[in-house]
Structure 1
Amino acid sequence: MYEQHVGPIPAGMELDHLCFVTMCVNPTHMEPVTPEENLRRRRSTPQKAWDPELAKAYQMRVDGVPWRKIAADLGMTHGPLIGRVRDYCERKSLPYL
């Protein structure tokens, strides 16, 4: 998907999923980086960095928006989003919808 929309991944590089969702296919959520940089980012970036988007997804679900519509609005697939929202709910002691 990335290569179709952006172009080839440079040799020796891999895609860093800036949204922290490795199953995400939105090319705007990806950046080519060296394997070392990808590992450094993975270790230094807390999952909570994505909480604002998860809070938005949670509120949309509370408002009755279907998962697939929420995922499309956030530029990701619904399966990983559901898992992330479930984890977010557990961290925030919110009821999972």
Structure 2
Amino acid sequence: MVAANFDAHQYARRLIDAGFSPSQADVLAETTGEIMLEITSVATAVEKLECKMTAEFEKQRAYTDKVVAELRQAMAEQGQNMMRWILLVGAAFGLIQTGLLTAIVVKLLF
């Protein structure tokens, strides 16, 4: 990572060359190294969290897909049940109408 490439000694020399005192350069180099390590640590934690979140999203997606499939199947079954009831009720009304018409015809003829 970034901190692995940070050379505190070289950084301190550059600071001294730029006009900082050796003690200032040492403190800045040490502090900068610590900051770089912290940044690396945070980046690693973020990567781990991202992996966990991705896995959790995948689990949620799989669960959602399962529920949607179950709902679609249930809706298809309900649609079939409704068609059966519609046909049954239609047939019943047809029989009732036929019976009533037969009764009317019989009454008119006799």
**So what's the TM-score if we normalise by structure 2?**
0.22
Q: Give the number of the structure whose residues are more often strand, by fraction.
A: 1
Q: Give the number of the structure whose residues are more often helix, by fraction.
A: 2
Flag the structure with larger Rg: 2
